[in-house]
Structure 1
């Protein structure tokens, strides 16, 4: 298979993590770095061993770039993704694609017009753990899924920076709450409720500095009962539990890290528990390989993270944000 020549757009912290993960990929290498600041791009490229650097437009105009990773702030994703797709590049866009469902639909429409691969970078969707979970649900190992409880939160102090900046689409839901939302969308689809809209019930929300800082939402997707929790002002276990008709799937570590995918889950049948363990992979490298495989096989989507799921996650997060705003006003 031909090696994918990657460019990073946005030489920030998460792009550094992607460049590290790319070293563990099977099919990709870091070739170029783009930034609004040419000096920052050059420094990142020199540190990471990339051959080229420059402005966004300079990098996107290069014939020796096959795919780009977008690691900039949420509010810039749409413009960069569309410019990259129009330039004929495959795109791996850091989650969320955009802060709104409407903008996400605009990016996905551009991807469809371009005929190039486009993948949203939800790292927990790639690798052996994700495959195990999908198989357990699809094969009804513990019967029909009935409910999901999932959480992801951390305590950022001081309450400043991107996560607390409304102008940069800060807040817990778009920063880390989208991970539980992504799982809810996937479980609902595998349970047969992929086309059902989310119906929100009770929502609790605390706002800090103009952003959703701590929120819990209870909702249904079809007949799947869902509870989502997220915060940027308190630590939460990165866990999830899927309750099924014949037992529970317990994930003490549902999301993994930027360097290691989750490795194990618990199957609980009444008083009996069994632990299932799978190999760990570098999840950001696995994301990159999903794009490389799509390129090699002439596909525009990765089965692990379809455009339909991306659109559904964007709708769910937008609905959660609206409900959180209403709850905060009350």
Structure 2
């Protein structure tokens, strides 16, 4: 029996808590250590979740008994921690967005390539049976893909500093808008159409603190038109509609949750018939953890669910969308 990989979680916030609660559902790894900027906070988090090892980021990354790290910290620390983890020989699963801009994203990817280690951007909706089914449908059954429309938005408490503080790379685009953009990029790629994507038009609201609070855009991804919307000041539907010449796939809850992947959609055909699409569910955070360890064991630097070419395209479109505002 293959020994389970040893995970270290960097960051002791809410999303890291969700990750460690999901990790027992993974088949290839287990929680081993917790790192935080404050070693005392790391110890408290480790005790709460049953990790034997705790310390500062540097202390955890210096250990030889850590195989992979999950980065669940604020956006502006992803670069620093990802580069340090790769230099220390660890596989990396990093919360989205990988970098706060194109330059940071590229720097981290180049470092992973040089290190020969897995680096996975943690778009959890990409993992599980339903995501696999969507890829299959887009690559053939729906015909030629012509358009995708999708959104994500919520009314956030303005006291949540990381969302509204520009020094922490706050704003709707990086926190939430990366989801619809990455889905649009994925759909175009699965359809074999992703080529020189660009922002056709964009509009939105820049708040008093200088961050983008609400925005929409039209993207062109090799002939696939994408209409995307995001907000941190109002709720938006969590739906996606993918239109092809042989059918239209509607997914009511395309993003799922941190605890359970999406399992339902339906295809409307040109002849008026409607076909349900149903799959089993999984813990998506456990699935992305296993994808990272699978890549590590197989000597790959990328997970097929989130290829680096798509990470790059998403980062570029987000930057261009923000610039267009």
**Scaled by the length of structure 2, what TM-score is found?**
0.97
| 1:2–1:296 CA contact under 8 A, matched in 2 | no
> Is 1:254 matched with 2:254?
yes
State the match for 1:273 in structure 2. 274
Match of 1:98 in 2: 99
Partner of 2:287: 286
Tell me which residue corresponds to 1:137.
138
* CA distances 1:233-282 after superposition (whole Å, capped 9, x unpaired): 00011111011112201111111010010011111113221111100100
Deviates more, 1:153-162 or 1:72-81: 153-162
CA distance in 2, matches of 1:278, 1:247: 19
Secondary structure of the corresponding residue to residue 310 of structure 2? helix
- Name 2:309's counterpart in structure 1: 308
* Residue 218 (structure 1) aligned with residue 218 (structure 2): yes
Paired with 2:196 and 2:3, the residues of 1 have a C-alpha distance of 40
Q: How does 1:123-134 map to 2 (within 5 A)?
A: 123-134=124-135
1: distance between equivalents of 2:256 and 2:40?
Answer: 33
Deviation (angstroms), 1:3 = 0.6
Q: Which segments of 5 or more consecutive residues in structure 1 lack a partner in the other structure?
A: 325-330
Render the CA deviation track for 1:40-85: whole Å, top value 9, x for unaligned.
0000000000010001111001111000000010011001001000
Alignment of 1:233-248 (within 5 A): 233-248=233-248
Whether the 8 Å CA contact 2:252–2:265 is kept in 1: the answer is: yes
In the alignment, the residues of structure 2 paired with residue 217 and residue 9 of structure 1 have an alpha-carbon distance, to the nearest angstrom, of 33
Q: Deviations over 1:119-151 (max 9, x none)?
A: 11000111101100000111x212100001010
> Which residue in 2 is equivalent to 1:192?
192
Whole-angstrom distance in 2 between the partners of 1:182 and 1:159: 28
DSSP-derived class of the 1:23 partner: helix
Q: CA deviation at 1:219?
A: 2.0
Please tell me whether the aligned partners of residues 124 and 255 of structure 1 are also in contact (alpha carbons under 8 angstroms).
yes
Deviation at 1:18, TM superposition (A): 0.5
Q: Which runs of 4 or more aligned residues in structure 1 lie more than 6 Å from their structure 2 counterparts after TM superposition? A: none
Q: Distance in 2 between matches of 1:83 and 1:123?
A: 23
Contact in 2 for aligned 1:203/1:218 (Cα 8 Å): yes
**RMSD (Å) for aligned C-alpha atoms:** 1.0
User: For the residues of structure 1 that align with 2:116 and 2:204, how far apart are their CA atoms?
Assistant: 40
| Secondary structure of 1:205 counterpart | strand
| Equivalent in the alignment of 1:327 | none
Shift of 1:159: 5.3
Question: In 2, distance between residues paired with 1:193 and 1:250?
Answer: 20
Aligned to 2:227: 227
1:300 to partner: Cα distance: 1.2
Separation of aligned partners in 2, 1:197 and 1:28: 36
| CA distance in structure 1 between the partners assigned to 2:194 and 2:150 by the alignment | 18
Q: Secondary structure at the match of 2:141?
A: coil
**Equivalence for 1:318:** 319
Partner of residue 200, structure 2: 201
| TM-score, with structure 1 as normaliser | 0.96
Q: Which residue is 1:16 aligned to?
A: 17
In 2, Cα distance between equivalents of 1:244 and 1:182: 19
Instruction: Tell me, yes or no, if the aligned pair for 2:197 and 2:219 is still in contact at 8 Å.
Output: no
Is 1:177 aligned with 2:177?
A: yes
Aligned residue in 2 for 1:157? 157
